[in-house]
A = this chain, B = another copy of it.
């Protein structure tokens, strides 16, 4: 039976508190407490998000963990000046990246299409566009999963991705996408977030064929 659905309450399979935590009340955080964020805590979020789908299961998302004043200074050589203080102050900053050599793992990740890794190895442009799109898709899972792991995030752009890659990602085929500061938000009275910005309505972003 299909009925017209007129409220979230009738349609969601997660409870209201979870919908708020992951989506409705989740905010981009500008200021974090000093509480440490361990590699294990980040890995717990990764262990959730990795099950999300990507094209042929290529799973190209990678992340560089940047923690501590010296490493943050190295990172800030490639970020916008207005973001330097926020990056320095965050407990940890992740550089999310696409591994455009994802084909090296395809024998293991894509057993239903034997030999397809060699196809991608011979097509670097296709590998780059597929790698970037699917890593960005997985970044959406990762941000949601970090929140599911009780962390708050503040994503930020990179001023010069090519230069960052050549330095901090040297020796890999990783292409940086954007940064995510991760930690626990200070109280909002202390400037954790900006006023909530608007979003588009469903009828503005959708069409029916």
Contacts and interface: CB of A to CB of B under 8 A. Distances in A.
A108 B148 contact: no
Interface string A4-16: 1110100111110
Interface in A65-89: 65-67, 71, 74-75
A-side interface size class: 35 or more
A43 B24 CA distance: 14
Contact of A209 (B64, B99, B202): B64
Contact of A110 (B138, B155, B197): B197
Contacts of A74: 209
Contact of A43 (B46, B57, B202): B202
A44 B12 contact: yes
A33 to B, nearest CB: 12
